[in-house]
Each structure stands twice: as structure tokens, then as C-alpha cells.
Amino acid sequence: MKFISGVLINAVLFIAIAGFTQSFHVASIWVALGASFVLAVLNVLLKPILLILTLPINFLTLGLFTFIINAFLLQLTSKIIGGDVFAIASFSVAILIAIVMTLVNMIVGSALKKQG
């Protein structure tokens, strides 16, 4: 259930963030759901490996390098889904999207823990 709710929350975030900026394009809610699912799978399979490989730099930056990893995974998601329906203009935009998504997911996760 946690996986499905995370995918749905990220899909809504994709649509919301795309509405605020011209540098990020999501063609439809279905594309957002697909991209959210791909991102969730990448987070499960690839993110732990990347975190281990970048542990020294992540330690030196007090965890801030995790935003770079998240941005990389967003860019990879964009490549997998297709740049015409799910497009991120640049890596700096991907970093900003990663920061916003992390903060919103932390807030929503905290609110859901208090309810349940």
C-alpha cells in the first residue's frame, strides 16, 4: 500500500510542478503515473547502489549529494519514458524538482504517520 500511495503522490507532484514551470513538461496524468512508477522502481533498484557508491561524498556534503542522485534518477526516468511526453529541460531543473519532491514527500509522509 505504501508503494502505491507513493506512486500516486509523486504523479500528483509531477503534474503540479509541471504546472508551475515551463522547464518541466508532463503530457498527461497517465504519463505522470507511468513516470512515477518508473521512478519508484529506479528508487528501489538503483538508488541503494548509487548511495553506497557515493557514500564518501554524501558524508562530506552532509547528505546533500542525495539531491544530485535524485536528480539523476529523474533524468533517467525522463529518458526511459521519452523526452517528448515527460521532459526536464536541464539538470539544474531536475535538482530543483528533486528538492521540491523530497520536501513535499517528507511533509506528506509525516502527516500520514500522524494519522495512522
- Specify which residues 87 forms β-bridges with: 25
Q: Is residue 53 part of a domain?
A: yes
Q: Is residue 23 part of a domain?
A: yes
Q: Is residue 92 part of a domain?
A: yes
- Angle between helical axes of 29-45 and 65-81 (0-180°, round to 10): 130
CA 62 to chain CA centroid, nearest Å: 20
Distance CA 27, CA 92 (A): 21
pLDDT in tens, 64-87: 999 999 999 999 999 999 878 999
Q: Is residue 116 part of a domain?
A: no
3-state secondary structure of 1: coil
> What's the number of domains the chain is made of?
1
Query: How much is the pLDDT for 116?
Result: 62
Four-point Cα dihedral 35, 37, 31, 66, nearest 10 = -20
Residue 102 lies in domain:
2-111
Q: What is the mean pLDDT of residues 5-17?
A: 94
Q: Is residue 69 part of a domain?
A: yes
pLDDT in tens, 91-112: 999 999 999 999 999 998 888 7
Q: Is residue 93 part of a domain?
A: yes
Helices (H), the chain: 2-20, 29-45, 47-53, 55-60, 65-81, 91-115
